[in-house]
Amino acid sequence: MADRYLSFTGTAPGRLLSRRLGLPRPVPLKRRSAGPDLDGGLLHLTAGRSGLGLAPVLARTGLPTGEPGDANDTGRPAAVVLDATGVRDVEGLAEVHAALHPVVRSVAASGRIVLLGSPLDAADHHQAAAQQALEGFTRSLGKEIGRGATVNLVRLTDADAAESTLRFLLSPRSAYVSGQVIEVGADATAGTGTGTGTEGAPPAGPWDLPLAGRTALVTGGARGIGEAVAETLARDGAEVVVLDVPGAEADARRVAERLGGLALPLDITAADAGARIAEALPDGLDVLVHNAGITRDRRLANMPAERWAPVLEVNLASVLRTTDALLAAGTLKRGGRIVATASIAGIAGNAGQTNYGASKAGVIGLVRSLAPRAAAGHGVTVNAVAPGFIETKMTAAIPLVIREAGRRMNSLAQGGLPVDVAETTAWLAHPASGAVNGQVVRVCGQSLLGA
């Protein structure tokens, strides 16, 4: 499972050879396990006229924040935030170029560039063109920047509501998230009593143990990505419930015991799964992570119904059923979070995966449709993570050549780790992420598939 090529290109001969041959040159990514913060300062740039009031939020990230030429300008920023919310036309885009052109080469390895944009104005096609242009700019820069750096775009109207998102993107927790466009609206769960702040005030945190006193259930939590999600939510203070099939009960118990949580042996496709979860959680649930998933690959011409049905059943039908049941029963508390697991196969499609691609695209449809209604009716946000190539037992079983292609065909030229999906889930589950709703965030190192 180890990425030997990544280790090799970390050596002097490996670096030389990969450069000479024009081969991908992945660098080891800085993740949170190596420290909670990026190594270096944050450069705050602006293009166009902005009324965002971003400085206090950036100051709270804890990164030394400066503008070009001032005391905190070390010349090698770990992060660059470009506020382009005021860009309304092609002249404004020239300011984006002028702001980033001189600094882009100096961004540190595993650095971050975050562009901030505004929602597209349906009544002003010049503004819409300029703001949409930021997406093409972000995705192109993400593909060329290299050295483990990431580039993302956040569309927002309120800097305080985006604090949890900015903290995530400006930290090692977002190591494998690049080329994404994330919309942050108004707090969908504000005033529910379980949010982190009162309306109008900046979200108060806490930022260290944000899920303390909250309960999180992870389906398929006995291994792989689900296990990492359970671990990360427990690290953030949640009491975790590790749900997995009865056949994986021993593993689920092992994970739950290690994390001081509960194991719940249950096949999520059972017709009464929602009712049984509600029964097991009489005090309710704050975070529901639909992670359980299976593949039964075959090209459509060779795919009998027996390979189609279970994939749709586990990956989509059970997600719809349990979501409906837990919302209707009131098990999911106000201020709650649903995070579903899609896949880039649900965005780009994949030969041999009509069943899987359909199920994961279905998850995206569910998220987009339900998010505004779940927020309005239940004070619950609904988002999805869409992993790309993640180093798990599932991807270790892929034949070598296809595995190597999958690993390298992304801007970071390497596979992600389960913890990358877990950190993204934890950000979406954060009590201060109530303004992030209906989003599908790819954790794929900016995979070239479906980009």
Per CB under 6 A, residues contacting ligand NAD are: 219-220, 222-226, 244-245, 248, 267-269, 291-294, 314, 341, 343, 387, 389-390, 392-395
Residues 243, 265: Cα–Cα separation, whole Å: 6
Q: DSSP character for 75?
A: S
Q: What angle do CA 284, 285, 288 make, to 5 degrees?
A: 155
CB of 275 to ligand NAD, least distance (A): 15
Assess whether 5 carries a catalytic annotation. no
Strand order across the 112-117 sheet: 65-66, 42-48, 79-86, 112-117, 150-155, 181-183
CB of 396 to ligand NAD, least distance (A): 9
Range 92-122 burial, b when 16+ CB lie within 10 A, else e: bbebbeebbeebbeebbbbbbbbbbbbeeee
| Closer residue to ligand NAD, CB minimum distance, 65 or 383 | 383
Distances (CA, A) of 335 to 176, 327, 431: 27, 12, 7
**What type of residue sits at position 11?**
T
| Closer residue to ligand NAD, CB minimum distance, 196 or 414 | 414
Distances (CA, A) of 144 to 4, 44, 46, 281, 446: 23, 21, 22, 48, 11
| Closer residue to ligand NAD, CB minimum distance, 317 or 329 | 317
* β strands within 332-433, DSSP E: 332-341, 381-387
Q: Which of 325, 319, 371 has its CA nearest to residue 341?
A: 319
| Closer residue to ligand NAD, CB minimum distance, 219 or 411 | 219
Contact between 74 and 41 (Cβ < 8 Å): yes
| Closer residue to ligand NAD, CB minimum distance, 128 or 394 | 394
CB of 268 to ligand NAD, least distance (A): 4
- Among residues 356, 386, 392, 433, the one annotated as catalytic is 356
CB of 230 to ligand NAD, least distance (A): 11
Alpha-carbon torsion, ordered 145, 161, 288, 441, to 10 deg:
-20
| Closer residue to ligand NAD, CB minimum distance, 135 or 249 | 249
State the catalytic residues: 356
